[in-house]
Structure 1
Amino acid sequence: MKIVESNEFKKEIESGVTVVDFFATWCGPCKMLAPVLEQLATEMEGKAKFIKVDIDQSSDLANEFKILSVPTMMIFKNGEKIDQLVGFLPKEKIQEVITNNL
């Protein structure tokens, strides 16, 4: 999964469904979530795009989207935020929420 910086974020989310994983390198649950999202990115290729944002590297985005805890996943459709999940969740739950927003 691609880690996106602030300057490319808007371009990445502007079309289609994009799942953004706001994470931090020091976050244990983020490390547990990473392989789950990698699997989903492979399984849902062509339906949804998955990207990551490091809240320490892109604190402006973390502030803009009011990220208070990580991991936080936000789902964007054509540039608009349409859903949000916070914390480590089972793959099936994450997939269900993404599918409901396609």
Structure 2
Amino acid sequence: MLIANDESLQKSIRQQGITLVDFGAKWCPPCKVLKPILDELAEERGMEAAFIEVDCDDSPGAASTYGVMSMPTVLVFRDGEPVEKIVGLRPKAVYEGLIAKHL
């Protein structure tokens, strides 16, 4: 999973295809549970979607730009545009469904 910050996030989002951006923080317990789920999905589905991690403490501008109010928040981008937002921890199947839905 790629790590991005305020400066690099826009350049890291795929302009064609699907990108999942995980907004979280090192101190956030649900974020710690989500990280291995998304890491696993990145290994399994990395050809179909890009996976990016953004630390909200290090990148408050990116979090603000996309209206992230709670962590974890996963934004789905299709062709560079945000199309869906999931707030809170969900089972792996939900994130798999997001990828399938937006392919």
TM-score above 0.5: yes
Query: Which runs of no fewer than 5 residues in structure 1 stay unpaired?
Result: none
- Runs of 4+ in structure 1 deviating by more than 4 angstroms, as ranges, are none
Matching of residue 10 in structure 1 with residue 38 in structure 2? no
CA offsets 1:13-70 (integer angstroms, 9 cap, x no match) = 1422110000011100000000000011111121000010000111011111111100
Which residue matches 1:26?
27
- Structure-to-structure mapping, 1:79-90, within 5 angstroms: 79-90=80-91
Q: Between the two proteins, what is the percent identity of the paired residues?
A: 40
Q: Output the aligned Cα RMSD.
A: 0.9
Seen in structure 2, the aligned counterparts of structure 1 residues 14 and 39 have a Cα distance that, compared at 3 Å, is closer
Q: 8 Å contact 1:21–1:51 — kept in the other structure?
A: yes
Aligned partner of 1:79: which letter?
Answer: G
The residue matched to 2:8 in structure 1 has which SS? helix
Count of paired positions: 102
The one-letter amino acid of 1:81's match is P
User: Following the alignment from structure 1 to structure 2, what is the Cα–Cα distance between the partners of residues 21 and 7?
Assistant: 16
TM-score (norm 1): 0.95
Q: Which residue of 2 aligns with 1:73?
A: 74
Matching residue of 1:96: 97
